[in-house]
Amino acid sequence: MTAALFQNRLSVINVGVSSFAHAIESHSTPVVDVDWSPPASGDAALGRSLALMINHPAIEAANKTAFERYLSAEPRVIDVLATRDAIADIGERTILHAGPPISWKDMCGPVKGAIVGAILYEGWASDAATAEALAASGDINFAPCHHYQAVGPMAGILSPSMPVWVVENADRGNRAYCSLNEGLGKVLRFGANSPDVLERLRWMKTVLAPILRKAVAALGGIDVKPLMAQALHMGDEVHNRNVASSGLLLKRLVPAMVESGLPSRDIADAARFIAGNDHFFLNVSMASCKAMMDAAHGVSGSSMVTAMSRNGVRFGIRLSGCGDQWFTADSPVIDGLYFPGYSMEDANPDLGDSTITETAGLGGFAMAAAPAIVQFVGGSPADAIANTQRMGNITLGQNNGLTLPTLNFQGTPAGIDARKVVDSGICPAINTGIAHREPGIGQIGAGITEAPLACFAAAVSALAESLDLHQSSPPAENS
Amino acid sequence: MTAALFQNRLSVINVGVSSFAHAIESHSTPVVDVDWSPPASGDAALGRSLALMINHPAIEAANKTAFERYLSAEPRVIDVLATRDAIADIGERTILHAGPPISWKDMCGPVKGAIVGAILYEGWASDAATAEALAASGDINFAPCHHYQAVGPMAGILSPSMPVWVVENADRGNRAYCSLNEGLGKVLRFGANSPDVLERLRWMKTVLAPILRKAVAALGGIDVKPLMAQALHMGDEVHNRNVASSGLLLKRLVPAMVESGLPSRDIADAARFIAGNDHFFLNVSMASCKAMMDAAHGVSGSSMVTAMSRNGVRFGIRLSGCGDQWFTADSPVIDGLYFPGYSMEDANPDLGDSTITETAGLGGFAMAAAPAIVQFVGGSPADAIANTQRMGNITLGQNNGLTLPTLNFQGTPAGIDARKVVDSGICPAINTGIAHREPGIGQIGAGITEAPLACFAAAVSALAESLDLHQSSPPAENS
């Protein structure tokens, strides 16, 4: 039998460990190599839970509800307010940060640097050393942005007087918030806190925010999803490429800015600031994605991921059906494209709430829309398309309001199903900027990374437990 | 022999007439069908000339010079002026039009309608009937825009007081001109001449142009090629898709507009007009392409195409090595995507100078950059890429200053070689808007068409004659 087998020309399909395929290929035999790993990474208990959860009617129904709420969300910029005015229940001595909860002593360099900057900006201390002592004293309340329906890129710092975009989901009325984008270089979100950084923040509060506020009011608000949809047809994925969307936003704002009655010089400065910052839309995108994902959150039994977020130490996710719980793992360091003079050695682990865009089917999930982004994050345009297609394996569906031209106008894959991640071992692709691990140096690169599988495994376990799958239908031990 | 042939399994390559391939395919035999037609469409005399011209050292050297002048052109918006101030040698009673020369009686509906509009706008007549009589009287001098280093979309009408973009090629100092874009709908360039159309033109002259002029001056000019390059990475091909480039241009202009000291209300109106017109950049693109192609014009012996242009009746081209000569053929009617209620029956034959963009390697040649344009001109994103790749067969090289992300950042194919067109039978692909054949109705669709082969055959014949190829090396009659 064996002899007969090897006398014939072989056609081989290799499943799993690809080194077997290489061995066969080296003997000039064609091999189709199937990229496969055991469900739940071979964790037997989790695998059993997963088997019960796949196609489970209650989870399917919950996911349908959650996904539809996401799809029908209509995020709309309705105002620009100080954080304390936007978020009524935030205390006067609260500073919000990116990612899951973390205490001062455990925070990474850029987050600590940005917090020192925020304390100086608020006037709670007059020098960095005093600010740092105050931060360590316990007199400041630190909390994740996500706990207040907010998100922030990189360090993600929000203090009471900082202005935020106020986005409302017209479909369900929930609101979300995000800071205004400061531009690149030395900026607070990368941990910089020098006088020029604080000066820019003060200008944003006293000049830029009032102009934006008046313009948004004059326009009666700005629908964000049509802007995102158009930007996807213009090479943005609205996470790390926002050049089209920032331009589209400026086009909407400018006539109203000019007619605001505010000083021409300030309006020119504001227009120049926005025009000179190709990431200006990022924070609008993030607040809008947060509003879309919060709409899908809190559906009992749903395995849909409603937040992915990093504090620079831990990567955390939330599931729609798991309430306020965070499921965390160590934040990865990114093997990306580094600016000259920097390498992975200098990099802070993955940081920021901006992965809310991937959670909403944008960013890494919509890379097929943005072939030019590979010049920034690495890879080829074909890789960008492959990333989007791979995400189709772990999502609940497509968002046909956000279509991708290079994939024949297919909707972007959206609604990450934690079950599918654990079952396939395919992790969400994330386009991200890379911060230096020391505060104040800023961005040192960008790249493509993945959400850690362990977050999804923990989340699926917790959801399984909450659903009491084992009690209702105990699996036979030897099945 | 024949019997033996048909006893074996056949592998067939079919060259040329593809119906032979279909016949073989219908018998379940695999066929590779090679799309081929005889050089010079089988015209023996032209074919002989062509054989002498392919790889001819003098032509190769001339094309190298012409192509390098095109590549190193640096178009820059330096001013916005009235046509009479920009083009000193234009007479007071001259009206410029798109395409090759044509007399009033032979003009198509949209061009006649636009000329009547221009006469009313200039105040040379007070009603349409009188204007039409004046146009027919011979008292107005009609000339192609191209004869005055100008270009105009669709009807392409320029009268003395209309404002034009002034673009200078910083590399060689040559200038080019194009009107300001009026937007879509009822506009002069589609032959509309009603009071609202003329009112808009007057506002553009008295309000918009002075604001643009001041802004351009304050900016010290605007380099256009970087804007085009960036727009190609944002889904534009800067002929029929200009949404990114128009936004990029507005971003440059706005701060200077606001600081111009002109009335805020006018600035807001101007910003709103530009922001509301996704084709605003088209006319800047056209003037810039004209400046680039004029740089390459006039190189003795060059077979590089330096203009493709249509007057709505005839399609004309010029070669770098053939001076002021036009080589014309009937303008095609476009089998494109028509707006609801319209069909090819309603369409004017292909019209306008905007094919200067294709001549410069943009538009249909750069379609791979603009997958979303297929929603406007038809076909699939794969067709768009295939169009760009096909143009690689008839061009002198690639413009590495204008790269295409979906083709791994390859430069756009540019520098149409008339020899290659005639040799391969592959005609330049053109993305174009479609005008109604009656004046004043406006755009009724858009589509992809081709420049007529006959223009290129005539041009190659003329170039051959000017080079006296037959005298210097007469071909043997029976070779």
pLDDT of residue B302: 98
Question: Is the pLDDT reported for residue A442 higher than 70?
Answer: yes
Residue A291 counted as domain residue: no
Convert the pLDDT of each residue in A62-91 to its tens digit. 999 999 999 999 999 999 999 999 998 888
Among the three residues B262, B286, B310, which one is the final residue of a domain in this structure? Answer: B286
Share of chain A above pLDDT 90, in %: 84
State how far the Cα of A422 lies from the Cα of A459, in Å rounded to an integer. 10
Q: Do B250 and A252 touch (CB under 8 A)?
A: no
Whether B229 and B348 share a structural domain: no
The ipTM (two decimal places) reads 0.89
Section A50-59 average pLDDT:
94
Give the C-alpha separation, B220 to A235, whole Å: 29
Over residues A400-419, mean pLDDT: 97
pLDDT value of residue A403? 98
Nearest chain B residue to A265 by CA distance is B259
**Predicted pLDDT of residue B474:** 43
Q: How close A336 comes to chain B (CA, Å)? A: 19
Find the mean pLDDT for residues B89-94: 90
**Which of B248, B252, B371 is closest, CB to CB, to A406?**
B371
Whether B293 is in a domain gets the answer: no
Question: Is A436 inside a domain boundary?
Answer: yes
Tokens 């011209």 -> residue = B53
Nearest CA in chain A to B408: A381
Instruction: Tally C-beta pairs within 8 A across A and B.
Output: 93
d(CA A97, CA A108): 11
For residue B405, the distance in angstroms to the closest alpha carbon of chain A comes to: 5
Q: Please give the pLDDT value at position B91.
A: 84
Residue A170: pLDDT band (50, 70, 90) is very high
pLDDT tens digits, A1-16:
556 666 777 778 888 7
Show which of B263, B286, B309 is a domain's final residue. Answer: B286
B22 domain-assigned? yes
Mean pLDDT computed over A199-204: 98
- CA dist B190 and A479 (Å) reads 74
Query: Which residues of A are less than 8 Å from B244 in CB distance?
Result: 234-235, 244, 247
Does A340 share its domain with A438?
A: yes
Same domain, A325 and A460: yes
Asked whether the predicted pLDDT for residue B478 surpasses 60, the reply is no
Sorting pLDDT into bands at 50, 70 and 90, what band is B3?
A: low
- Cβ atoms of A239 and A365 closer than 8 Å: no
What's the mean per-residue pLDDT of chain B?
A: 93
Q: Kindly report which listed range (A224-233, A395-404, B46-55, B288-297) carries the lowest average pLDDT score.
A: B46-55
Max intra-chain CA distance, chain A: 89
A475 pLDDT tier (thresholds 50, 70, 90): very low
**Residue of B214, B219, B233, B385 for testing the chain A interface, max A β-carbons within 10 Å:** B233
Q: Which residues of A113-130 are buried (b: 16+ CB within 10 A; e: fewer)?
A: bbbbbbbbbbebbeebee
Question: Rounded to an integer, what is the distance from CA B376 to the centroid of its chain?
Answer: 17
Determine the pLDDT at residue B16: 77
Are B369 and B236 in contact by the 8 Å Cβ rule? The answer is yes
The answer to whether residue A165 sits within a structural domain is: yes
Using the CB atoms, write b or e for A305-323: b if 16+ within 10 Å: bbbbbbbbbbbbbbbbbbe
> Do residues B265 and B156 both lie within one domain?
yes
pLDDT (0 to 100) of residue A88: 86
Indicate if B272 and B344 belong to the same structural domain. Answer: no
Nearest to B402 by CA among B275, B239, B219: B239
CB contact under 8 A, A235 and B234: yes
Lowest-pLDDT choice from A10-19, B4-13, B28-37, B183-192:
B4-13
Confidence check: pLDDT of B37 > 80: no
Same domain, A361 and A422: yes
| B chain contacts of residue A264, beta-carbon cutoff 8 Å | 258-259, 264
Residues of B with CB under 8 A from a CB of A: 230, 233-236, 243-244, 247-248, 250-252, 254-256, 258-259, 264-265, 267-269, 271-272, 275, 371-372, 374-375, 380-381, 405-406, 408-409
Q: What pLDDT sits at residue B324?
A: 96
Q: Is the pLDDT of residue A124 over 60?
A: yes
On the question of pLDDT at A409 being above 90, the answer is yes
Q: Which residue range(s) make up the domain with A64?
A: 44-69+297-472
Residue B470: band (very low, low, confident or very high) from pLDDT cuts 50, 70, 90: low
CA-to-CA distance for B114 and B131, rounded, in angstroms?
11
Sign of CA dihedral A290, A295, A299, A301: negative
Q: Which of B34-38, B41-45, B119-123, B392-396 has the lowest mean pLDDT?
A: B34-38
| CA dihedral for A17, A20, A26, A27, sign (positive or negative) | negative
- Residues in contact with B432: Cβ distance below 8 Å, sequence separation at least 6, in sequence order: B239, B240, B334, B336, B350, B352, B354, B355, B377, B446, B447, B448, B449
Check A252 against B271: CB less than 8 A apart. Answer: no
A406/B406 Cβ within 8 A: yes
**Same domain as B55, residue B7:** no
CA torsion sign for B354, B359, B364, B370 is negative
Residue B32 clears pLDDT 80, i.e. is over it: yes
Residues of B in contact with A271 (CB under 8 A): 254-255, 258
The alpha carbon of residue A360 is apart from the nearest alpha carbon of chain B, in Å, by: 22
pLDDT tens for each residue of B291-341: 999 999 999 999 999 999 999 999 999 999 999 999 999 999 998 999 999
Examine residue A184 and state whether it is found in any structural domain, yes or no. yes
- From CA A108, how far away is CA A112, in angstroms rounded? 6
- Report whether pLDDT(A256) > 80: yes
- For residues B26-47, give the mean pLDDT: 82
Strand ranges (DSSP E) for B187-342?
222-223, 305-311, 314-319, 327-330, 337-338
Mean pLDDT value of segment B14-22: 81
Residue B116 lies in a domain: yes
A160 in the same domain as A110: yes
Percent of chain B with pLDDT over 70: 97
Res A5: pLDDT? 66
Return the pLDDT at B57. 95
Mean pLDDT of A119-143: 97
pLDDT for residue B35 is more than 80: no
Q: What angle do CA B97, B98, B104 make, to 5 degrees?
A: 50
Is B312 within a domain?
A: yes
Q: What 3-state DSSP class applies to B141?
A: strand
B325 and B438 both lie in a single domain = yes
CA distance B320 to A47: 71
Please give the Cα distance from B316 to B305 (Å, whole number): 11
User: Of the residues B256, B286, B316, which one is the last residue of a structural domain?
Assistant: B286
Contacts of B405 in chain A (CB under 8 A): 235, 371-372, 374, 381
Distance from the A257 Cα atom to the nearest Cα atom in chain B, whole angstroms: 8
Question: A149 and A87 share a domain?
Answer: yes
Interface test with B, best of A240, A250, A251, A404 (most B CBs within 10 A): A251
* Facing residue for B381 by CB, picked from A247, A269, A406: A406
Contact B230 A243 (CB under 8 A): yes
Q: Is the pLDDT of residue B94 over 90?
A: yes
- Position A477 scores a pLDDT of 43
Interval A156-184 mean pLDDT: 97
Kindly give the pairing relationship between strand B410-416 and strand B395-404. antiparallel
The dihedral region occupied by A371, where left means phi > 0, alpha psi between -120 and 50, and beta the remainder, is alpha
Subunit contact A264:B265, Cβ cutoff 8 A: no
The pTM (predicted TM-score) of the whole model is 0.91
Q: What is the pLDDT of residues A426-436, one digit of tens each?
A: 999 999 999 99
* Chain A partners within 8 Å of B252 (Cβ): 275
Q: Domain count for chain A, please give it.
A: 3
Structure tokens at B425: 């039978």
Stretch B455-473: mean pLDDT, rounded?
A: 84
- Residues A94 and A62 reside in one and the same domain: no
Chain A neighbors of B263, CB-CB under 8 A: none
pLDDT value at B202 more than 80? yes
pLDDT at position B193: 94
B135-148 per-position pLDDT tens digit: 999 999 999 999 99
Q: What is the CATH number for A363? A: 3.90.1700.10
pLDDT at B477: 43
Model confidence at A474: pLDDT above 50: no
User: Which amino acid does the sequence have at A313?
Assistant: V
Q: For residues B385 and B398, what is the distance between their CA atoms, to the nearest angstrom?
A: 15
Which one has a higher pLDDT value, A183 or B30?
Answer: A183
Give pLDDT tens digits for B352-401.
Answer: 999 999 999 999 999 999 999 998 899 999 999 999 999 999 999 999 99
More confident residue, A16 or A326: A326
Chain A positions in Cβ-Cβ contact with residue B230 (cut-off 8 Å): 243
Q: CA angle, corner A249, sides to A244 and A252, nearest 5?
A: 130
Average pLDDT of span A446-462:
96
**Span A441-450, mean pLDDT?**
92
Q: Residue A167: which CATH number? A: 3.90.1710.10
Looking at chain B, the whole-number percentage of residues with pLDDT higher than 90 is 84
Question: Residue B341 is encoded by which pair of tokens?
Answer: 């209620």
Instruction: Report pLDDT for B475.
Output: 43
A468 vs B304 pLDDT, higher one: B304
Cα-based distances in Å from A382 to A346, A350, B237: 29, 25, 21
* Spacing of C-alpha A135 from chain mean position: 27
- B422 and B304 in one domain? yes
Residue A95 per-residue DSSP state: E
For residues B273, B275, B278 and B280, what is the CA-based torsion angle, rounded to 10 degrees?
60
For residue A476, pLDDT beyond 50: no
